Amino acid sequence: MSLPAVGFLIPLGLINAYWFAPPLILVISLVYAASRHEAWPLIFRHATRLFLMITGILALVTIILLVINTQV
C-alpha cells in the first residue's frame, strides 16, 4: 500500500531542496524552545531567536562556500 503521491499539486522533483530547510528549522526552534520554557511569550521569543540564529549561520556558511567556490 502506498500513500497517494503528493506530487499532484506541484511536481515535487522541481522544488529546490533548500525550500525544505525553513520549515524544518522552524519546527526545531519551536520544539526546543517549548522544552525549555512553559510561558508562551518566552517560548516564542526563544524560538524566534533560535530560528534567526540557525538561519543566519546557514546563510553565512552558504555565502562563504559560494565565495570560495567562485575563486577556485
Cβ-based neighbours of 45, under 8 Å, separated by 6 or more: 33
The residue from 36, 49, 53, 59 that contacts other proteins (CB under 8 A) is 36
What distance in Å separates the CA atoms of residue 69 and residue 72, rounded to the nearest whole number? 5
Which listed range, 14-22, 52-60, 61-69, lies at the site for other proteins (CB under 8 A)? Answer: 14-22
The residue from 9, 40, 68, 70 that contacts other proteins (CB under 8 A) is 40
| Interface contacts to other proteins, rule CB under 8 A | 1-3, 5-7, 12-13, 15, 17, 20, 23-24, 27-28, 30-32, 34-43
